[in-house]
Amino acid sequence: MAEDPKKGAEAAEAAPIVEAGKTSKWLSSNGFDHEIIPPDHLGVEIIEVAPEFLLPLCTALYANGFNYLQCQGAYDEGPGKKLVSFYHLTKVKSNADKPDEVRVRVSLDRTEPKIPSVYWIWKGADWQERECYDMFGIVYEGHPNLKRILMPEDWVGWPLRKDYVSPDFYELQDAY
């Protein structure tokens, strides 16, 4: 059975071609495998990388001048979908009007979300990774003190996951 040529043309129109940004081109020229995602609403370049390549890619970005982890966080794409850990990196230079920025994104399987910690590259990831662990259950392997930071240590579940079911009771301990 022949494939309908209209469907092929429609699929090509539906998937926009994303041009590689400056950082993506640099990573590609140095042999770092990654996926290019359309820039965000501010025009900041977004790069997606597999969990096993996060540390080599982040180490290369640090060596290329991305010396400031502006933000690290996570979000849930929805029940049964992926969890995402993201990193907003900036090149801090003393004489730059507008510093270079890039966002690195890693999609994780929600059944066993494990990813290497970037704490050893950017110390600012310390509490940010702990918060993502506490709220989403993402395990940042190699983190020096990965434990709950907002919820009690004995709390069951990950409150910011979209499939989280709140307990139907809340016990106040030592309230008085």
Q: In the chain, what are the domain boundaries?
A: 20-141
What CATH code is assigned to 20-141? 3.30.460.80
Q: Rounded distance, CA 69 to CA 110, Å?
A: 25
pLDDT value, residue 51: 96
Coil vs helix vs strand at 106: strand
Whether 5 has a pLDDT exceeding 80, the answer reads no
Whether residue 85 contacts residue 55, with contact meaning beta carbons closer than 8 Å, is answered with no
Whether residue 71 contacts residue 89, with contact meaning beta carbons closer than 8 Å, is answered with no
Q: Rounded distance, CA 103 to CA 46, Å?
A: 5
pTM, two decimals, is 0.82
Buried b (16+ CB within 10 A) or exposed e, 53-71: ebbebbeebbebebbebee
Whether 127 has a pLDDT exceeding 50, the answer reads yes
Where do we find the tokens 């003190």?
Answer: 145
Question: What percent of the chain has pLDDT above 90?
Answer: 57
Lowest mean pLDDT among 9-13, 138-142, 167-171: 9-13
